[in-house]
Amino acid sequence: MTTPTRSTAAPGDTATAPRPGERDLERYRGELTGYCYRMLGSAFEAEDAVQETMVRAWRSLDRFEGRSSLRSWLYRIATNVCLTMLGGAGRRARPMDLTESQPTATATLGAPLPETAWIEPMPDVRAMPAPEEHAETRESIRLAFVAALQHLAPRQRAVLILREVLSWRAAEVAELLGTTVASVNSALQRARATLASTGVTESGPSEPLSEEHRALLTRYLDAFERYDMDALTALLAEDATLSMPPYSLWMRGPSDIADWMLGQGSDCEGSRLVPTRANDCGAFGQYREDPAGGWSPWALQVIEISGGRITGINAFLDTARLFPLFGLPDHLPEPEQPQKPE
């Protein structure tokens, strides 16, 4: 696939501007991935949607006349791809959306639900390849907000993301969706009302990971690896939650979380954690001790923080799919023992 030289002509100067090429398309892959992730609630489906968008765009480049910007054109294709993928699909959710919390004394995992049931985590580096350039969109990939978006009808979802998250003008959204400004404004009003009823709103720019948050995550890592439940629960908010997709079971509060970890979850003692980033949150690849030696993947933990406390431990257990996505190793070896002097 050859790549023409990127144009330096003035916008709209279609008479002299060379047609965009692969490099021009690829510069939008990151932000399109974030957009499709918000639409679909799945990192894997988002990447599929963006790849399909790029394929369709490349095949149609000879018909791109520059009447709209390349970015708008790509978003139109991506939106159509997402709307098609959402046709007939069920709503993805978090465990907290599906059931009530269970006290540890009566908690059972039950049967796992299929991967299509869940909001999936997204690596920051894929949805926000240059966070400093997209500070206004960081908050909107948080798990709670992406889950709230799934309550909206697909076209309302597109309108709200484009207007509220990406700050498109109503006229631009109307052109993209092939509708009127009045229709866009009406859809946005309904979407806002639905979103407000979920108790979650898009609250604007989030602060970069602060030193206080980094210190809190370091203390969590230390407490978890030592399996010190007193130290760990001291870091939790009173209404902190623990969830474990693909199971619908979840629990609330430091006491129940500690009881679970010391009871049915006690096999996690001796785990090792490898830091990463997901959904604009600190995250860890969790590895449990392997009887054959070293540590094997067990969960991707996404740690939600608010008010100087941990408010959510989201342990996604589908490591076969998630660890490669996050670039996490498939095994941690035993540390090498220092050689004894001869």
Domain shared by 91 and 132, yes or no: yes
Number of domains within the chain: 2
Domain shared by 30 and 159, yes or no: yes
What pTM, to 2 d.p., does this model score?
Answer: 0.87
CB-based contact 138:165 (threshold 8 Å)? no
Distance CA(186)–CA(341), nearest Å, equals 77
Q: Is residue 339 part of a domain?
A: no
Averaged pLDDT for residues 315-324: 97
Q: Is residue 330 part of a domain?
A: no
Size (the chain), residues:
342
Distance CA(181)–CA(204), nearest Å, equals 24
Distance CA(185)–CA(174), nearest Å, equals 9
The band of 312, judged by pLDDT with boundaries at 50, 70 and 90, is very high
User: What pLDDT, in 10s, does the model give residues 251-289?
Assistant: 999 999 999 999 999 999 999 999 999 999 999 999 999
Averaged pLDDT for residues 157-185: 95
Domain shared by 29 and 86, yes or no: yes
The band of 200, judged by pLDDT with boundaries at 50, 70 and 90, is low
Burial class (CB in 10 A: 0-12, 13-18, 19+), 341: exposed
Here the tokens at position 338 are 């220092």
Of the chain, the percentage scoring pLDDT greater than 70 comes to 84
Q: What is the predicted pLDDT for the residue at 13?
A: 40
Q: What is the bridge-based pairing of β-strands 236-243 and 309-316?
A: parallel
pLDDT(242) > 80: yes
Which element (helix H / strand E) includes 163? none
Q: Supply φ then ψ for residue 277, to 5 degrees.
A: -135, 135
Burial class (CB in 10 A: 0-12, 13-18, 19+), 140: buried
User: In CATH, what number is assigned to the domain containing residue 319?
Assistant: 3.10.450.50
- Single residue among 141, 165, 197 that ends a domain in this structure: 197
For the chain, how far is it from start to end, CA to CA, in angstroms? 60
Averaged pLDDT for residues 5-22: 46
Domain shared by 220 and 316, yes or no: yes
- In Å, how far are 68, 155, 184 from 176, measured between CA atoms? 10, 11, 11
Q: Is residue 95 part of a domain?
A: yes
Of 264, 257, 275, 272, the closest CA to residue 224 belongs to 272
Domain shared by 232 and 96, yes or no: no
Q: Is residue 217 part of a domain?
A: yes
- Single residue among 165, 197, 229 that ends a domain in this structure: 197
Q: Supply φ then ψ for residue 131, to 5 degrees.
A: -55, -35
The band of 107, judged by pLDDT with boundaries at 50, 70 and 90, is confident
Q: Is residue 16 part of a domain?
A: no
Residue 208: other Cβ atoms inside 10 A: 11
CB-based contact 91:118 (threshold 8 Å)? no
Which element (helix H / strand E) includes 80? helix 70-86
Q: Is residue 291 part of a domain?
A: yes
Q: What is the predicted pLDDT for the residue at 203?
A: 42
Mean per-residue pLDDT over the chain, rounded:
87
Q: What is the predicted pLDDT for the residue at 90?
A: 83
The band of 18, judged by pLDDT with boundaries at 50, 70 and 90, is low
User: In CATH, what number is assigned to the domain containing residue 56?
Assistant: 1.20.140.160
Domain shared by 185 and 262, yes or no: no
User: What pLDDT, in 10s, does the model give residues 215-235?
Assistant: 999 999 999 999 999 999 999
Q: Is residue 336 part of a domain?
A: no
Q: Is residue 260 part of a domain?
A: yes
CB-based contact 278:139 (threshold 8 Å)? no
Domain that holds residue 38: 22-197
